[in-house]
């Protein structure tokens, strides 16, 4: 099979994946109307697959996803790409291990972002997934590289795959698009529980060494790709 065919197959598969993953944003109530988006890097290419701008989640299909280069220029597709394309593209250029990016305005996480407060690590699930607090990035206007720069600068100092962009919303990254979607779902889940705990009383922090221990274990043991469990 020629290299061109192989690239076409990869893009076709990622169009399916990216279109389908938006349903998880809807299922977990992370988005209203058309306000969140998922993208995936095309491995080995300077390309990404991303949601078209302003199209209803009900109407997303593999064939209306947009393929852009990593400057955000459209290379395949009749529709304009997400208005957040520049931010996704900046992340892919700056972080070579990132294979998927997700952006939402999910309510609880965005409330923390509106206050400019990082989410403290009150929960073992947060230690597992985020390795500590979920950090806040700067205020940035849409339209250039400012959002992308803010994401990358903030994530660089943290284990967290999620960043709360001030007054704006959440960006998450992962080795692939599904992992970035999982991070977006878990970010809203811990943001909500932490908010509810703050409304109730005095949440108890988890000791830093316990956070480290939980994070190390989870990254190695959880799921089906982990060290095998004992078996007779």
- Annotated active-site residue 90? The verdict is no
Which residue among the candidates 84, 108, 168, 215 is catalytic per the annotation?
168
> Which residue, among 14, 3, 5, has the nearest Cα to 41 in the 3D structure?
14
Give the number of residues in contact with a second copy, rule: CB under 8 A.
73
Beta bridge partners of 102: 38, 172
Q: Which stretch binds a second copy (CB under 8 A): 6-14, 76-84, 90-98, 154-162?
A: 76-84
As a whole number of angstroms, the distance between CA 157 and CA 177 comes to: 22
Give, for 17, the enclosing helix (H) or strand (E). Answer: helix 3-27
**141 near a second copy, judged by CB under 8 A:** yes
Out of 17, 37, 110, 154, the residue judged to bind a second copy by CB under 8 A? 110
Which 193-232 positions form the footprint of a second copy (CB under 8 A)?
Answer: 193-204, 206, 210, 213-214, 217-218, 221-224, 226, 228-232
Q: Is 159 in the site for a second copy (CB under 8 A)?
A: no
**b/e per residue 65-93 (b: at least 16 CB within 10 A):** bbbbebebebeebeeebbebbbbbbbbbe
18 to 37, contacts with a second copy by CB under 8 A? 28, 32-33, 35
Rg (CA), the chain: 18
The verdict on whether 88 is a catalytic residue reads no
Active site residues: 103, 105, 128, 168, 222
């Amino acid at each position: 099979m020629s290299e061109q065919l192989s690239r076409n197959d990869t893009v076709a598969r990622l169009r399916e994946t990216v279109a389908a993953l938006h349903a998880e944003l809807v299922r977990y109530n992370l988005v209203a109307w058309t306000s969140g988006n998922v993208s995936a890097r095309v491995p080995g290419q300077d390309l990404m697959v991303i949601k078209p701008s302003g199209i209803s989640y009900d109407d997303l299909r593999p064939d209306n996803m947009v393929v852009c280069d990593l400057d955000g220029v459209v290379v395949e597709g009749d529709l304009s790409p997400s208005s957040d394309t520049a931010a996704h593209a900046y992340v892919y250029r700056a972080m070579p291990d990132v294979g998927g990016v997700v952006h939402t305005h999910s309510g609880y996480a965005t409330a923390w972002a509106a206050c400019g407060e990082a989410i403290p690590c009150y929960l073992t699930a947060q230690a597992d997934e985020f390795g500590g607090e979920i950090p806040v990035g700067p205020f940035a206007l849409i339209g250039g590289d400012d959002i992308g720069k803010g994401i990358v600068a903030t994530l660089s100092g943290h284990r967290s795959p999620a960043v709360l962009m001030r007054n704006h919303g959440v960006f998450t990254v992962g080795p692939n698009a599904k992992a970035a979607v999982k991070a977006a779902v878990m970010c809203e889940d811990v943001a909500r529980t932490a908010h509810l705990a703050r409304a109730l009383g005095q949440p108890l922090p988890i000791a830093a060494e316990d956070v480290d221990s939980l994070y190390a274990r989870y990254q190695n043991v959880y799921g089906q790709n982990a060290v095998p469990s004992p078996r007779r």
